[in-house]
Structure 1
Amino acid sequence: MKRNQSPCIDVCDFSAPKGWCVGCGRTREECQKWKSMKPYDKNILQKELNKRMSKIRAKSTK
């Protein structure tokens, strides 16, 4: 079984919209809960993070 690695890239700058980290897209709360999350919940969050990071990248290029 593949382990869900943390999406953290050691940037930790929560200045993106809605308090999202510009490095991984998570909120502070999501970062804190990551280790205790079930694999299913991590997968759902990973899909959401992909969408968030697209929005963050789009804003930074404007």
Structure 2
Amino acid sequence: MSKETPCVAVCMIDPRTKLCFGCGRTLPEIARWHAMESADRLAVMALLPARMTEAGLAPIAASPKRT
């Protein structure tokens, strides 16, 4: 995964908070992610830890890469 993405390949949306269990982004953020400017992506990424904490969601670790 790119350094400019919080994606950990756990793509499931919490029905209560509407946030991805893996990264904390909303569906609209995920949908427009690749069209966003780098600064905008980094700004969203800076908000994600607090967003996940406030929502009561624990970040899920990335799946190990298979060799």
TM-score by length of 1: 0.72
1:17 Cα deviation (Å)? 4.1
- Structure 1, unmatched stretches of 5+, are 58-62
Alpha carbons of structure 1 residues 53 and 16: separation in structure 2 relative to 1, 3 Å: farther
Q: Percent identity?
A: 31
Partner of 1:9, secondary structure, is coil
Show structure 1 runs of 4+ deviating over 6 A: none
Q: What does residue 13 of structure 2 align with?
A: 14
**Greater per-residue helix proportion:** 1
Bigger RCO (CA 8 Å, 6+ sep): 2
Match of 1:23 in 2: 22
Q: What residue number does 2:39 align with?
A: 40
